[in-house]
């Protein structure tokens, strides 16, 4: 009797070089952009892909997605980005991003072996990481993905206060007149992003008498810096690495301290819990 044999997908025999991906999450666009620039500067050969919400009056949800690709330029050089805007899928922003990312990596994987992916404001990284790794295992990516690391950018200043307020998350635009808002509050979203992250990148402090001092908002003077740091640490898992200065971290460090090809156990491949359905 001859038993049927399933054809191999050829994943184990591929001669293509594996790629590593860092997924950057956060709740403020300026903080994400500044941290992304610092991380990219630490590795001139990285390819950066940034996703963002874009206001769109013709869309039912009020926004579309914009993908910006910056290819490796060289030390001290900032390559001009290629921007593409596409409509959000009916499912949710997470599905739109993760499917587009797999397609984009297919065109880019032969140009770099390390990618820094900045996700839209408030979007969780675990479902995207799971989708990338599962697609890679099933042969659905142009190049195998050997690591998908989640790093969340967090501002410790005023963190405790944000956890208890009801300020809505601004996804696109600048204020209540032209902005698109997430019904969830900023503190709730940031707590979820921290809890799933393998690395938490803290923005430099602006406390008085600190080398990085600027100005502290008067309403936040009562908040002890150590309290915010304690709360952030309490939200993370024991394996999470907390970096005290986001601008001093490097991409190589983020990848070297992360187990390879680890699918987050709490990830939901459909992106449920992101609040935008």
Gyration radius (Cα) of the chain, Å: 19
User: Tell me: the pLDDT tens digits for 27-75?
Assistant: 998 899 999 999 998 888 899 999 988 877 777 766 788 899 987 764 4
Is 110 strand, coil or helix? coil
177 vs 273, which has greater pLDDT?
177
Instruction: Give the separation between CA 115 and CA 23, rounded to whole angstroms.
Output: 9
Task: Please state whether beta strands 114-118 and 47-55 pair in parallel, antiparallel, or not at all (unpaired).
Answer: parallel
Tokens of 110: 């032969």
Instruction: Give the separation between CA 218 and CA 216, rounded to whole angstroms.
Output: 6
CA-wise closest residue to 241 among 261, 262, 256: 256
Q: Model's pTM, two decimal places?
A: 0.79
pLDDT at 78: 44
DSSP 79-91: PPPEEEEEPPPSS
CA angle 26, 32, 35 (to 5 degrees): 120
Tell me if 179 sits within 8 A of 219, measured CB to CB: no
Instruction: Give the separation between CA 93 and CA 107, rounded to whole angstroms.
Output: 21
Q: Does residue 242 surpass a pLDDT of 80?
A: yes
Task: Please state whether beta strands 145-154 and 19-25 pair in parallel, antiparallel, or not at all (unpaired).
Answer: parallel
113 vs 130, which has greater pLDDT?
130
pLDDT at 178: 61
* Element housing 233 (H / E): helix 225-235
CA 261, 190, 104, 35 dihedral sign is negative
Instruction: Give the separation between CA 276 and CA 261, rounded to whole angstroms.
Output: 28
Is 230 strand, coil or helix? helix
CA-wise closest residue to 23 among 130, 116, 95, 133: 116
Instruction: Give the separation between CA 15 and CA 43, rounded to whole angstroms.
Output: 25
User: Tell me: the pLDDT tens digits for 150-182?
Assistant: 999 999 988 888 877 777 777 776 666 666 667
* Element housing 168 (H / E): strand 168-172
Distances (CA, A) of 225 to 138, 154, 167: 46, 13, 21
The percentage of residues in the chain with a pLDDT greater than 90, rounded to a whole number, is 37
Is 191 strand, coil or helix? helix
* Element housing 254 (H / E): helix 251-256
């Amino acid at each position: 009797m001859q038993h049927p044999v399933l054809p191999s997908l050829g994943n184990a025999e591929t001669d293509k070089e594996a790629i590593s991906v860092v997924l950057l999450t956060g709740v403020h666009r300026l903080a994400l952009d500044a941290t992304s620039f610092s991380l990219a500067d630490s590795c001139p050969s990285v390819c950066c892909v940034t996703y963002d919400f874009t206001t769109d009056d013709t869309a039912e949800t009020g926004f579309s997605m914009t993908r910006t690709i910056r290819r490796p330029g060289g030390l001290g050089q900032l390559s001009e980005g290629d921007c593409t805007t596409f409509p959000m899928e009916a499912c949710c922003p997470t599905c739109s991003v993760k499917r587009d990312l797999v397609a984009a990596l297919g065109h880019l994987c032969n140009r770099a072996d390390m990618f820094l992916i900045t996700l839209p404001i408030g979007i969780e990284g675990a479902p995207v990481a799971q989708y990338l790794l599962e697609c890679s295992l099933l042969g659905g990516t142009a190049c195998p993905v050997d690591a998908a690391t989640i790093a969340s950018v967090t501002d410790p200043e005023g963190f405790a206060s944000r956890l208890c307020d009801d300020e809505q998350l601004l996804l696109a635009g600048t204020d209540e007149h032209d902005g698109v808002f997430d019904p969830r509050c900023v503190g709730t979203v940031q707590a979820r992003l921290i809890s799933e992250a393998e690395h938490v990148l803290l923005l430099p402090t602006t406390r008085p008498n600190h080398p990085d001092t600027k100005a502290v908002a008067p309403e936040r003077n009562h908040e002890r810096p150590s309290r915010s740091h304690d709360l952030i640490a309490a939200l993370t898992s024991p394996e999470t690495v907390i970096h005290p200065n986001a601008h001093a971290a490097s991409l190589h460090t983020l990848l070297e301290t992360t187990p390879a090809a680890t699918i987050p156990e709490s990830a939901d491949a459909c992106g449920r819990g992101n609040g935008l359905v």
